[in-house]
Amino acid sequence: MKKIKLLKSAIEKDPKFLLAYHCLAETLFNNNKYNESIETYNKIINIFPENYKAHYNLGLMLFDKGNIKQAKTELLKADKIQPKTRMFV
C-alpha cells in the first residue's frame, strides 16, 4: 500500500499529474479496490475529458461490475476520441 500512498502524494503535489492518476487507478485495481479505481478514472475524466485510456479502462471495469449500459457509454466515448484503436466492436 506504500505505492498507493506515494501516488496519492504525487497527485496532491501536482493535481494534473496524469501518469500518477493512471498508475494509481491501476494499482488500486490490482489491489482489489475496484470502487476506488473507478473513482480515480472518473477524476481523470473530469480533469482530462479527452483521455482515451481513462474512458476505455473505466468502460472495462464497469462492464466487469455488470454495469453494461454505462460501460458501453464509456467505451463508445473512447472510440470517438481515438477511433483508429479498434480494441472492441
Any idea what the CATH number is for the domain that residue 21 is in?
1.25.40.10
pLDDT at 89: 45
Q: Which range of residues forms the domain containing residue 47? A: 2-81
Q: How many domains does the chain fold into?
A: 1
* Any domain includes 89: no
* Residue 30 in domain: yes
pLDDT tens digits for range 36-76: 999 999 999 999 999 999 999 999 999 999 999 999 999 99
Decide if 11 is inside a domain: yes
pLDDT of residue 42: 98
Report if residue 87 sits inside a domain. Answer: no
Query: What pLDDT shows up at residue 86?
Result: 57
Query: Burial code of 20-55, b = ≥16 C-beta within 10 A, e = fewer?
Result: bbbbbbebbbeeebeebbbebbebbbeeeeebbbbb
Percent of all residues in the chain with a pLDDT value above 70, rounded to a whole number: 94
